[in-house]
Amino acid sequence: MFPRKATVLAASLALALLSSVALAQGPPGGPGGPRGGPGGPSLLNAAPVQKELNLSESQKSQLKKLDTAMGQKRRSSFSRRGQGEPDPEKMRSAMDKLRREHDEAVAKVLDKKQKERLSEIELQREGILAVARPNVAARNLFQTGP
């Protein structure tokens, strides 16, 4: 029983450490608060994240242009919704489509190592809530047995 408690304690300490690193990166979206989802445009445009990913000036410029273009697409998409009651399912679908477009475009700008590190930073930023994501839960990071 003791090894299991030790494993749970070690996992808890690791989670606390990861959370403190994520908090040290500041609030998502900078001083104004969040402006995008996990890994959204605000995360890639944050100077500490750019430094951590070791982005070139060319990559920074490409990501800034991408952020601007995606912002315009978002505004255009939701300004055409009309004056009636918005359909939450259509809105969610439209946002998912834009998010996938954004992720695909980002994948073309970053190299493999940068994508892996960005994924780790996104996990850190989400903290304990990340385990609710199926792809994170499937990794079974907190396995306590053989």
Instruction: Please write the tens of the pLDDT for every residue from 96-146.
Output: 888 899 889 999 999 999 999 998 888 888 888 777 777 777 776 655 655
Six-digit token string for 62: 């490409």
- Contact in structure between 109 and 63 (CB atoms under 8 Å): yes
pTM (2 d.p.): 0.59
Long-range contacts of 49-55 (CB under 8 A, 24+ apart): 49/25, 49/118, 49/121, 52/117, 52/121, 53/110, 53/114, 53/117, 53/118, 54/114, 55/114
Six-digit token string for 96: 């998912």
Six-digit token string for 67: 């952020």
Query: Residue 138 and residue 140: Cα distance in Å, rounded?
Result: 5
Tell me the average pLDDT of the chain: 75
28-82 tens-digit pLDDT: 444 333 334 444 556 888 899 999 999 999 999 999 999 899 888 888 877 765 5
Six-digit token string for 97: 């489509």
126-135 tens-digit pLDDT: 888 777 777 7
In the block, which residue shows the tokens 């892996």? 116
In the block, which residue shows the tokens 């070791």? 54
Six-digit token string for 146: 């053989």
Average pLDDT, integer, range 7-12? 65
The region, left, alpha or beta by phi > 0 then psi within -120 to 50, assigned to residue 126 is alpha
